């Protein structure tokens, strides 16, 4: 790629694991700028009604001005639960409205839920295990989102943690155990879907612990942003996803 800086802006809900992004920027290296701006989440709760309010477009738009104070090539809603909770069609509408508000093409806008769908496609895997921190009913929404995009979820469990703040306190050994305890022999990859969960420092360790690709929320969100900005350079130290030497010819856009 050229030396042009890939500028990716993230709207991140509240405060929990946002420090993954400067760490990812450092690990990615090169001409990459990852900018995080926080949104007002309302109630910090992994409950359906609260997540629908957390991901309401008016909350995302309220933080766009601060994010766009610096030019961005791509804007991503860095939240999984408050995107898939709307269902595939609602999540597409959320991305389209965000793109319009940001003055960007829809092809330069996405969310973490679509980042997971695209990462699964890019790795060429289909059978998945989901190691969710959410309550079971919220995790089920994610399963249905993945299945809508062609995946088969062979194992899913919810840890039942209500707040993102609590998820953000989980350390290395707890995150590794979350992946190990939710593996399944038929799963080709394990997904840890919460952007409130720290993972950037342990991506290779997670894969070594289970012997297969592990996709985490902040990892796939950063990858999606770089991909949409045109940066598909392979990198080491960031898991199998970032080691891909070529991208598929096409990935299902977030608006299709």
Helix 20-28 / helix 217-228 crossing angle, nearest 10 deg: 50
What does the pLDDT read at residue 2? Answer: 47
Is 76 among the domain residues? yes
Q: Is residue 36 part of a domain?
A: yes
Asked whether residue 243 is domain-assigned, the answer is no
Average pLDDT value over all residues in the chain: 93
Count the Cβ atoms, other than its own, within 10 Å of residue 245: 7
Same domain, yes or no: 64 and 132: no
Please check whether residues 180 and 194 belong to one and the same domain. Answer: yes
> What is the pLDDT at residue 254?
62
- The verdict on residue 249 lying in a domain is no
| Contacts with 116 (C-beta within 8 Å, 6 or more apart), sequence order | 80, 146, 191, 193, 215, 217, 220
Are 160 and 205 members of one domain?
Answer: yes
Asked if the structure places residue 247 within a domain, the reply is no
What is the C-alpha R_g of the chain?
16
pLDDT score recorded for residue 209: 96
Do 124 and 181 lie in one domain? The reply is yes
Q: What is the pLDDT of residue 223?
A: 97
Residues 165 and 229 in one domain: no
| CA–CA separation, 252 and 62 (whole Å) | 28
According to DSSP, the β-strands at 74-77 and 189-192 are: unpaired
The pairs formed by 55-58 with CB atoms below 8 angstroms and a separation of 24 or more are 55/79, 55/82, 55/83, 55/85, 55/86, 55/94, 57/94, 57/97, 57/98, 57/101
246 occurs within a structural domain = no
- Domain annotation covers residue 163: yes
Residues 96 and 223 in one domain: yes
Report pLDDT for 252. 59
Instruction: Write out the residue range of the structural domain in which residue 133 sits.
Output: 116-216
Residues 6+ apart with CB under 8 A from 130: 139, 142, 143, 146, 153, 155, 156, 157, 182, 190, 191, 193
Let me know if residue 126 belongs to a domain.
yes
Domain count, the chain: 2
* Tokens encoding 191: 């997904």
Supply the pLDDT for residue 164.
Answer: 87
Q: Are 77 and 10 in the same domain?
A: yes
- In the predicted model, residues of the chain with pLDDT beneath 50 are 1-2, 255-256
Same structural domain, 227 and 153: no
């Amino acid at each position: 790629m050229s030396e042009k800086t890939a500028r990716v802006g993230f709207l991140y809900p509240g405060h929990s694991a946002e420090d993954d992004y400067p760490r990812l920027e450092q690990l990615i290296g090169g001409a990459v700028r990852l900018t995080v701006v926080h949104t007002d989440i309302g109630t910090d709760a992994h409950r359906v009604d609260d997540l629908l309010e957390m991901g309401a477009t008016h909350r995302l738009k309220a933080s766009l001005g601060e994010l766009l104070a610096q030019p961005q090539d791509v804007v991503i809603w860095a939240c999984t639960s408050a995107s898939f909770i709307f269902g595939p069609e609602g999540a597409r509408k959320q991305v389209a409205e965000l793109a319009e508000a940001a003055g960007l093409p829809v092809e330069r806008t996405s969310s973490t839920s679509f980042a997971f769908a695209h990462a699964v496609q890019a790795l060429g895997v289909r059978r998945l295990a989901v190691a969710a921190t959410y309550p079971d009913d919220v995790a089920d929404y994610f399963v249905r989102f993945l299945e809508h995009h062609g995946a088969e979820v062979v194992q899913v469990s919810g840890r039942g943690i209500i707040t993102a703040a609590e998820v953000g306190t989980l350390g290395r050994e707890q995150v590794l155990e979350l992946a190990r305890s939710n593996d399944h022999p038929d799963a080709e990859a394990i997904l840890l879907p919460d952007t409130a969960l720290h993972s950037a420092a342990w991506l290779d360790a997670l894969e070594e612990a289970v012997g297969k690709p592990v996709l985490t929320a902040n990892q796939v969100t950063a990858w999606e942003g770089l991909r949409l900005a045109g940066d598909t350079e392979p990198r080491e130290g960031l898991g199998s996803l970032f080691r891909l030497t070529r991208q598929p010819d096409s990935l299902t856009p977030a608006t299709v």
